[in-house]
Chains A and B, each alone.
Chain A
């Protein structure tokens, strides 16, 4: 069955360091992969989209990679700040489907 895995354990890093979050998937051939941010008590907010033929996408301090051979996406936040503390969700869109499938998310905690 199709499966999306994100590290369920919280990631704790120090301010100024680079945070790297992982999204792995199996039995899936996604055409697009999206990353969302979710703060406690709020709905997810879209951050970045990367297509299957793109290796890397950047937006300000954010960088996403997409490796369809490894079936993995990495989400990087450089020069992390306490305000980056949140849960980050990856979501996949299959080539013939019009619906997103979400991972369970990884909580990031940036400390001073």
Chain B
């Protein structure tokens, strides 16, 4: 039982390049989330998926797109990376759509955009 896994662990991009961050969970959770964490800003929600087939914007969605590929997988895409997207990205999942239950986090992807 691996929990929540994320790939890659580290990535360096040049401005304008695109990439997809992958996330998978093996806990049969309905809901999945993408956050970014910046110094002094805390965790901020980018997008979330309350259930398979649905996605919704969070607090900071601009410059990102997501795909809930199936119940296990939730990917985050940067179409044209900008230096302001340098951050640590975390994927999380929870058992209930309302997420009043605990969220389980992956180990994070450290992204640098030059």
B104 and A93 form a contact (CB under 8 A): no
Count A-side interface residues using an 8 Å CB cutoff. Answer: 23
A8 and B40 form a contact (CB under 8 A): yes
Question: How far, in Å, is B35 (CB) from chain A's closest CB?
Answer: 8
How many residue pairs bridge A and B at CB < 8 Å? 57
| Chain A residue with the shortest CB-CB distance to B100 | A32
CB-CB under 8 A for A43 and B90, given A32-B100, A49-B102: yes
Binding site secondary structure of chain A:
strand
Q: Which of A14-22, A60-68, A70-78, A98-106 contacts B (4 or more CB under 8 A)?
A: A98-106
- The distance in angstroms between the C-alpha atoms of A89 and B99, with both chains bound, is 16
- The distance in angstroms between the C-alpha atoms of A99 and B33, with both chains bound, is 9
Q: Which residues of B contact A91 (CB under 8 A)?
A: 43
| Per-position binary interface string of chain B over residues 44-64, scored 1 when its CB falls under 8 Å from any chain A CB and 0 otherwise | 110010100000001100000
Count B-side interface residues using an 8 Å CB cutoff. Answer: 28
A104 and B50 form a contact (CB under 8 A): no
Q: Which residues of A contact B100 (CB under 8 A)?
A: 31-32, 49, 93
- The distance in angstroms between the C-alpha atoms of A100 and B43, with both chains bound, is 10
- The distance in angstroms between the C-alpha atoms of A41 and B9, with both chains bound, is 10
- The distance in angstroms between the C-alpha atoms of A34 and B98, with both chains bound, is 14
Partner of B58, one of A8, A99, A104: A99
Given contacts A49-B101, A93-B99, A99-B33, 4 further A-B contacts (CB under 8 A): A43-B106, A44-B103, A89-B42, A99-B58
- A-side interface residues toward B, CB under 8 Å? 4, 8, 31-32, 34, 41-46, 49, 89, 91, 93, 98-105
- Interchain Cβ contacts under 8 Å between A and B, 12 examples: A43-B90, A43-B105, A43-B106, A44-B43, A93-B99, A93-B100, A98-B31, A98-B50, A99-B33, A99-B45, A104-B42, A105-B42
